[in-house]
Amino acid sequence: MSRAQYLEALGVDVWVPRVRLPLGTAPAPAAAAPAVAVATGDADSWQAVRAEVASCRRCGLCEGRTQTVFGVGDTAARWLVIGEAPGEQEDLAGEPFVGPAGQLLDKMLLAIDLPRSTVFIANILKCRPPGNRDPRPEEVAQCLPYLERQIRLIEPTLILCVGRIAAQTLLQTDTPLGRLRGRVHAFGPLQTPVVVTYHPSYLLRTPGEKRQAWQDLKFARQTFDQLSATRPDGHRS
């Protein structure tokens, strides 16, 4: 499938005049450093965090889950995509973004030359909230340390947050998603660059916003390309 075909599948009009992207925007103030989940001095590992997630009973969501949804993809990926929480199909499959929203996410990533297998995809929560309700603060508080450990293990060049929950949680803000778009934020001790866009489920319900999402994706791609060009020190493209 050609790039144009992916964009068409996304519902994006490729002939829309290009909006000049605010690439020179100053990074937002850094989010507070995340709590350190691993005892100082102990090297963390994928094996350790995987095992802890698989047997996690830190919140009530463990009662209703079929299984935990750890995350999927290349553990050495330069891109980390973060969503909200598993839905019904993800709970059954044990993999994030496998339902209709996942199919759209795959197209969104392909539109910026990122086959799903080349990124790592994870969620704020590892277990499905009943009825797909929003995550509760106490659930996020218990689960976020796992994601923070995944971020430290991957050391991505760029984090792409899809949706309000992922963006507001990672950036520790109540600012509406619409005002977080179009700029580069920073996360955690490494000040990892973060770009946000709409959640694919929202785009499925509100296709008119796909054009905006395409602007975000182009902005993310350009930001990544700039970072790769200016930081060749071990930051692979």
Binders in 116-175 for ligand URA, by CB under 6 A:
123
CB of 174 vs ligand URA, minimal distance in Å:
19
Residue 86 lies near ligand URA (rule: CB under 6 A): yes
Q: x/- string (CB under 6 A) for ligand URA, residues 199-228?
A: --x---------------------------
Q: How far is it, in rounded angstroms, from Cα 38 to Cα 151?
A: 13
d(C-alpha 214, C-alpha 210), whole Å: 6
Here the tokens at position 188 are: 């955690």
Does position 91 bind ligand URA by CB under 6 A?
no
CA distance 225 to 184: 13
- Residue among 71, 83, 129, 193 that touches ligand URA (CB under 6 A): 83
Nearest by Cα to 194 from 32, 79, 104? 79
Radius of gyration of the chain (CA): 17
Among 87, 156, 182, 193, binds ligand URA (CB under 6 A): 87
CB of 13 to ligand URA, least distance (A): 26
Which 2-61 positions form the footprint of ligand URA (CB under 6 A)? none
Cβ-contact 125, 61 below 8 angstroms: yes
Interaction of residue 85 with ligand URA, rule CB under 6 A: yes
